[in-house]
Amino acid sequence: MGRMRENPRYNVISMRISDEERDTLQMIMETTQKSVSDIMREAMDMFRTRIDRENFTRRAA
């Protein structure tokens, strides 16, 4: 039996990207020493932060 994880990940998402996008992703991976999954998780966190900030600004106006 596999070990128990604190934050198990069961969902898989795939997407098609262009050769240029793949080259960019490869450069980011080599520069940051991060996996594609880690880069995508970090990108989602950045988007969520930006959206939260925009929503907060709209509510405050």
Domain map (residue ranges) of the chain? 34-61
User: What was the pLDDT predicted at 1?
Assistant: 61
User: Would residue 33 be called left, alpha or beta, if left means φ above 0 and alpha means ψ between -120 and 50 degrees?
Assistant: left
Q: Going residue by residue through the chain (61 aa), what tens digit of pLDDT does each one get?
A: 677 888 888 999 999 999 999 999 999 999 999 999 999 999 999 999 999 999 888 887 7
Tokens 């793949």 appear where?
22
User: What was the pLDDT predicted at 8?
Assistant: 87
User: What was the pLDDT predicted at 60?
Assistant: 79
Return the sign of the alpha-carbon dihedral for residues 13, 16, 19, 21: negative
User: What was the pLDDT predicted at 6?
Assistant: 87
